[in-house]
Structure 1
């Protein structure tokens, strides 16, 4: 099996080199003051003259004035992603080509705004991926109206409609960019921002994704709400503090032998900052409570990381870790499995094999970045927090049931990744991961897992 995987990998190398060289050949000199595009596109502000250098032909559609304080902005993104996975399911490797295509129009009229983004997502080569979030033929990715106001030194933004949302470090609520179809919410949202602080509240539902055309309707029984606050305690990002409450109501879930409607609440804090010497830190503490069917929920989580930027090289070395509770006893009337509702699924690597529930993990890593090139190498060591609970895989499904193994050690995942910003518009990425299966994981995979992925993104 490893030989077959290596042959498939080597067949890709010439094509990847041609892709990188051809994209570089089409590079044009970057315009002066050329801005970078935001990960969430509605966060871009093209009304600012400094964001309109004028030398790039794509900037001609970023600011189209119609009248005083009235303008349109157009943009899009196209991503082609190839994934090859061997060892996870079945004797044959899974080979899939994913295409994501997004187009948006952003209309501004004074304090009012309307933003619409349409998406077409395709998965070729793997029937298991031919459904959301792998495939969604054509649908509304985002569509909202917005109102902005200012009172003294406080800025207010109200937004209603379908929108992407990333909170804090995106550890628990993210855009799910690694998957083909990104995560969006149907929300009413209000934020207030002052000098060194921000507070926002939201409430709404989670869309039910379908594979067809214009069929992603709001799921009124799947509700999501919360309040998130950030305060800069010390200047120059030395110490900041988040406090948040998130709530989720889902019509039907299953944890082992427990099944039914889930109403779960999460309260958390996050402390983070960076010193002048290049030392960075982050820490989370979380508690979850609620009900599943007739059982009580009581779960907890701790997460954090430490990094140091080296003064003699463009290197950043660090370690991350999680401790997230699992269920210790079936049938005791209590569910202790921590559940992260909308996490960044590529937090560990581009291969989202392990979901952040019922685990201990430690993740040493090193990052190198210089000009347009970035490299990262790391290894994650996974353990079950409770051997009486499952090992989970995205989006929270059981990967290793408790009955399959009583081992605590799940496995180790080694990852090597490359990022290359070819031009302002073109980004190339590649990653290789190898999962050394521990006793718990070997019970379902039978051995190690290999993953190779490469994706090229064109943004304008």
Structure 2
């Protein structure tokens, strides 16, 4: 379908949506297959959009039903001095479009098929779209669930196929929402959940993205396997605990130290939750393995703590984050100390997505305001340093953004971001973001160091 035809289809859908009051539907999830509309089966059938397309009963004698959903995303981005003047300047900015249609067929309590088609389009990028900018038409999710009831109200699920995966808060494995093409994996998972704990076992490979139509493949370069468990309130008070092991392979890894085959093991823990006005998300892990002919010894610590003043006007929330990830301290030996975040969020520190969590430490503060139920305003300040001066700076995807070039400076950049979000009805979100980046000593000493200004305007509708 031609791009203008997509836009013509989007217009009447948008008009219909904003004029229909949302029913009591479950929240829209980051992973759409986690949404549960089964409660609608006991209610009178709605004739309104989009409730009409949820929990459509099947006459199969097994209590089956069908959910239909989708997404329309329009995003404009303009970056003045990309990567602080290091990358080519887009003349008028970049326009992104993303469209999705999904079907969730619950044939019975034991069998389910989930299918989601995505189309991601780009225009305006100088030099053409990157692999995360454009993918004209491809299966984003296509998997089967085989559910087996267990004792203690638990469920065991076998899930082979193509599937999006988010582990924990997405610091290590995420769908990469920031870029236009979300990440997905091919392989299998075994999931167990009951009232107290949840366990995932998986062996997958990421999809290799290509810009055309149904031309993607399963990556031969990367592999991911492991186990991820969550224990609810293990200390019988507040907070949940995640414990996990992740195995990772990259047949052609690249670091400042050099390139080679990488096999890495990650052992981590995450303590998270909320109590009263407080919320927290603390995570730490160590990594071992082999890179080329040397050994890997890396680690990270990530903390975020917030407090919301519920009784104040606009309910301000303050969040304070301190994070650190190891770098390589000696380029002359064969061992590697650089932390690898594996498959992290694309917009890890900000929507500008310049640097990723390798060889760094930072202090990141947030102020969030809620003027009313529809609006959210956020300001955040990020101070970012290199940890080891022998190592460089990396992008969220792991590309080397800046080599050390003999600099002994640690301080790399200061960024200030302002974000406004408006959601007038369920599923519809307008977002405006501006990020200002000031290069500090390390960038000034090692290459181009223009001031960065990043602006993003987004309209996203999911149903």
Please, what TM-score do these two structures have when normalized by structure 1? Answer: 0.91
- Counterpart of 1:455 in structure 2 is 458
Where 1:246 maps in the other structure, the secondary structure is strand
Structure 2: runs of 5 or more not aligned: 1-9
- Counterpart of 1:9 in structure 2 is none
- Counterpart of 2:367 in structure 1 is 366
Asked if 2 retains the 8 angstrom alpha-carbon contact of 1:35 and 1:51, the reply is: no
- Counterpart of 1:162 in structure 2 is 162
- Counterpart of 2:412 in structure 1 is 410
- Note if 1:65 corresponds to 2:66: no
- Counterpart of 1:13 in structure 2 is none
Task: List aligned pairs for 1:339-354, cutoff 5 A.
Answer: 339-354=340-355
Residue-by-residue CA offset, 1:237-262 (whole Å, 9 max, x unaligned): 72211110111111101112432111
RMSD: 2.2
Residue-by-residue CA offset, 1:404-435 (whole Å, 9 max, x unaligned): 63311001110000111122132111100000
Greater percentage in strand: 1
Asked if 2 retains the 8 angstrom alpha-carbon contact of 1:244 and 1:267, the reply is: yes
- Counterpart of 2:7 in structure 1 is none
- Note if 1:39 corresponds to 2:30: yes
C-alpha deviation, 1:235, in angstroms: 8.3
Residue-by-residue CA offset, 1:4-38 (whole Å, 9 max, x unaligned): xxxxxxxxxxxxxxx9xx97996224244233322
The range that moved more, 434-443 or 158-167, is: 434-443
- Counterpart of 1:109 in structure 2 is 107
State the distance in 1 between where 2:378 and 2:448 align: 27
C-alpha deviation, 1:232, in angstroms: 1.6
Asked if 2 retains the 8 angstrom alpha-carbon contact of 1:327 and 1:386, the reply is: yes
Task: List aligned pairs for 1:72-83, cutoff 5 A.
Answer: 72-83=66-77
The range that moved more, 198-207 or 401-410, is: 401-410
Asked if 1 retains the 8 angstrom alpha-carbon contact of 2:26 and 2:37, the reply is: no
1:129–1:237 Cα change, 3 Å: farther
C-alpha deviation, 1:214, in angstroms: 0.7
* Residues paired across the two proteins, number: 440
Please, what TM-score do these two structures have when normalized by structure 2? Answer: 0.90
Asked if 1 retains the 8 angstrom alpha-carbon contact of 2:307 and 2:317, the reply is: yes
Task: List aligned pairs for 1:257-336, cutoff 5 A.
Answer: 257-276=257-276, 278-313=277-312, 314-336=315-337
Task: List aligned pairs for 1:370-389, cutoff 5 A.
Answer: 370-389=372-391
- Counterpart of 1:6 in structure 2 is none
Task: List aligned pairs for 1:414-425, cutoff 5 A.
Answer: 414-425=416-427
Give the ranges of 4+ consecutive aligned residues of structure 1 lying more than 6 Å apart after TM superposition. Answer: 22-26, 50-53
State the distance in 2 between where 1:117 and 1:284 align: 32
Asked if 2 retains the 8 angstrom alpha-carbon contact of 1:87 and 1:445, the reply is: no
